[in-house]
């Protein structure tokens, strides 16, 4: 049975708004190793590093869509708990990263300052790869669902990695072996919730970021995600990514740019309040972030098309994935901004403010 999505229960995304020119790829076709679809995947990852993945018609994909709906119900329930309860699972008490996190949304209601919230649940806790961190009973009870969701998202990510390594001309399993599911990594499921708030350009700018892992699988139900277009020779503009029922949004993170010497792109994006009739609603998203294994050094791989890429003159400090994630999360390292086929490094500090008053808690 096809999954029942809930987008139609919400006000529509404004039809007149400019939206991002994302291609839509079919998971079922990629599972079937259809070569035209595989080539489109490689192209999308070289162009924008963002695409829709249509999950319908794939048993794995439809299961993920259904589970994303179930997890969306769970996250709303979790975020409806009192701040004092959630604060017990905060980053100051549990972990600097894999914890409940918040920042002021700059809005008051009933004498209370509303929060932009997120909750990061580590893949290794779910899969038994480590001693799990303390978590709320609601999360503990949902662990079979969370574990299954993480495993399914990883199956999609592994499929994408295997297509990409083939196109890059890398030896088989070059990328897969940096992302083994039973090895410790920063992979996690993230719940996010933002209360209604007015659009504020400077706040939106502070939330601009690239993801710093490998591949991200994102579900959202309301508009608000924006990416910046990358026109040849131009500066680009912010455009909305419209949620599509039955599809997830996939984007590449900085690790893929580093591994491939800039062949693959991690596009800059941000989250602003939902547009049009959707404004005034609380916005949730559900994100699965994959990252290289903790011990993997984030550097350009050797082989295939990567060897033909220009070598950067000033080679950057080499850090392990674990340190990179920690330092990015603490705002200690800048992101990679890819533009017009080249690599452009934003000065330190340009993306890091998102930790202060983020529209999205990165």
Ligand X SMILES: O=C(O)CCC(=O)C(=O)O
Binding stretches for ligand X (CB under 6 A): 190, 192, 211, 218, 220, 225, 269, 271, 285, 287, 360, 362
Task: Give me 226's structure tokens.
Answer: 């924006």
Nearer to ligand X, 101 or 258 (CB): 101
Give me the residue whose beta carbon is nearest to Fe ion.
211
Place of tokens 């850090």: 319
Nearer to ligand X, 269 or 300 (CB): 269
Residue 225: exposure state from Cβ atoms within 10 A (0-12, 13-18, ≥19): buried
Check if the beta carbon of residue 123 is closer than 8 Å to that of residue 188.
yes
Q: Give the shortest CB-171-to-ligand X separation in angstroms.
A: 31
Nearer to ligand X, 170 or 325 (CB): 325
Q: Give the shortest CB-281-to-Fe ion separation in angstroms.
A: 20
> 292 vs 70, 72, 319, CA distance in Å?
27, 26, 12
Q: Which of 285, 258, 292 is nearest to 270 (CA)?
A: 285
Instruction: Estimate the share of the chain in helix, then strand, then coil, as percent rounded to the nearest 5.
Output: 35, 20, 45
From the list Fe ion, ligand X, none, pick the one residue 116 interacts with, judged by a Cβ distance below 5 to 8 Å according to partner type. none
Q: Give the shortest CB-20-to-ligand X separation in angstroms.
A: 12
From the list Fe ion, ligand X, none, pick the one residue 225 interacts with, judged by a Cβ distance below 5 to 8 Å according to partner type. ligand X
Residue 287 pairs with which residues in a beta bridge? 190, 218
Question: Which of 211, 217, 258, 358 touches Fe ion (CB under 5 A)?
Answer: 211
Nearer to ligand X, 150 or 271 (CB): 271
> Could you give the CA distance from residue 249 to residue 82 in angstroms, rounded to a whole number?
31
CA angle 151, 252, 244 (to 5 degrees): 75
Q: Give the shortest CB-209-to-Fe ion separation in angstroms.
A: 6
For residue 208, state whether it binds Fe ion (rule: CB under 5 A).
no
Helix (H, G, I), strand (E, B) or coil at 108: strand
Give me the residue whose beta carbon is nearest to ligand X.
285
Q: Give the shortest CB-92-to-ligand X separation in angstroms.
A: 21
Nearer to Fe ion, 267 or 278 (CB): 267
Q: Give the shortest CB-3-to-Fe ion separation in angstroms.
A: 24
Q: Give the shortest CB-258-to-Fe ion separation in angstroms.
A: 17
Q: Which of 306, 320, 309, 220 is nearest to 269 (CA)?
A: 220
CA angle 109, 114, 116 (to 5 degrees): 155
Nearer to ligand X, 160 or 241 (CB): 241
Nearer to ligand X, 166 or 281 (CB): 281
Residues whose CB falls within 8 Å of the CB of residue 40, separated by 6 or more in sequence, listed in order = 23, 25
From the list ligand X, Fe ion, none, pick the one residue 220 interacts with, judged by a Cβ distance below 5 to 8 Å according to partner type. ligand X
Enumerate binding residues for Fe ion (CB under 5 A): 211
């Amino acid at each position: 049975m096809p999954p029942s999505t809930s987008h139609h229960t919400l006000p529509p995304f404004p039809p007149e708004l400019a939206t991002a020119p994302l291609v839509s790829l079919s998971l079922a076709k990629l599972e079937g190793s259809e070569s035209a679809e595989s080539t489109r995947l490689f192209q999308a990852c070289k162009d924008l590093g963002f695409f829709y993945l249509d999950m319908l018609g794939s048993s794995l994909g439809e299961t993920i869509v259904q589970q994303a709906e179930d997890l969306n119900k769970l996250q709303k329930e979790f975020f409806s708990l009192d701040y004092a309860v959630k604060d017990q699972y905060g980053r100051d008490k549990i972990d600097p990263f894999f914890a409940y996190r918040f920042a002021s949304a700059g809005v008051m209601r009933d004498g209370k300052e509303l929060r932009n919230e997120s909750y990061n649940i580590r893949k290794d806790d779910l899969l038994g790869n480590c001693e799990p961190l303390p978590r709320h009973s609601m999360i503990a009870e949902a662990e079979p669902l969370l574990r299954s969701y993480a495993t399914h998202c990883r199956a999609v990510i592994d499929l994408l990695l295997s297509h990409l390594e083939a196109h890059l001309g890398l030896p088989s399993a070059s990328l897969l072996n940096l992302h083994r599911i039973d090895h410790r990594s920063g992979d996690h499921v993230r719940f996010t919730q933002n209360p209604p708030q007015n659009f504020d350009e400077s706040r939106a700018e502070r939330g601009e970021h690239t993801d710093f892992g490998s591949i991200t699988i994102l579900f959202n139900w309301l508009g608000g995600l924006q990416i910046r277009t990358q026109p040849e020779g131009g500066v680009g503009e912010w455009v909305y990514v419209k949620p599509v029922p039955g599809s997830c949004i996939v984007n590449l993170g900085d690790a893929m740019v580093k591994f491939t010497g800039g062949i693959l792109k991690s596009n800059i994006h941000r989250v602003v309040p939902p547009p049009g009739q959707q404004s005034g609603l609380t916005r949730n998203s559900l994100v699965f972030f994959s990252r290289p294994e903790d011990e993997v050094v984030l550097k350009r791989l050797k082989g295939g098309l990567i060897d033909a890429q220009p070598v950067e003159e000033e080679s950057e400090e080499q850090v392990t994935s674990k340190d990179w994630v920690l330092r990015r999360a603490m705002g200690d390292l800048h992101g990679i901004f890819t533009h017009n086929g080249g690599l452009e490094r934003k000065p330190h500090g340009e993306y890091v403010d998102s930790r202060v008053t983020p529209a999205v808690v990165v």
